[in-house]
Amino acid sequence: MSNQEFENLTDEILAEIIQEENQKEIEKQEIIKNGCPHVNKTERVGTISKVHFLECDICKKQFDMMGNPIK
């Protein structure tokens, strides 16, 4: 494989990755727009106060450990 062929292949793969990321972002925004169900919550720890809380992986809304929204 020549350098030019390798560069073309690399460019194609990079373009594919960018397209997939853009598609994921579009899907994420669509979910948020339609009312995020907040089903994918991940436990996080506050950097300053070391408080544990849940955060929606999609819209980044925060919840207490009981699942209630934090205002």
Question: What are 22-71's pLDDT values in tens digits?
Answer: 999 999 999 999 999 998 899 999 888 888 999 999 999 999 999 999 87
How far is the C-alpha of 53 from the C-alpha of 47, rounded, in Å? 11
Residues paired with residue 13 on neighbouring β-strands, in sequence order: none
Asked if 49 and 37 touch (Cβ cutoff 8 Å), the reply is no
Task: Kindly state the greatest CA–CA separation across the chain.
Answer: 58
Q: Model's pTM, two decimal places?
A: 0.64
pLDDT of residue 2: 79
The kind and range of the H/E element at 63 are strand 62-63
How far apart, in Å, are the Cα atoms of 33 and each of 40, 49, 58?
A: 16, 32, 11
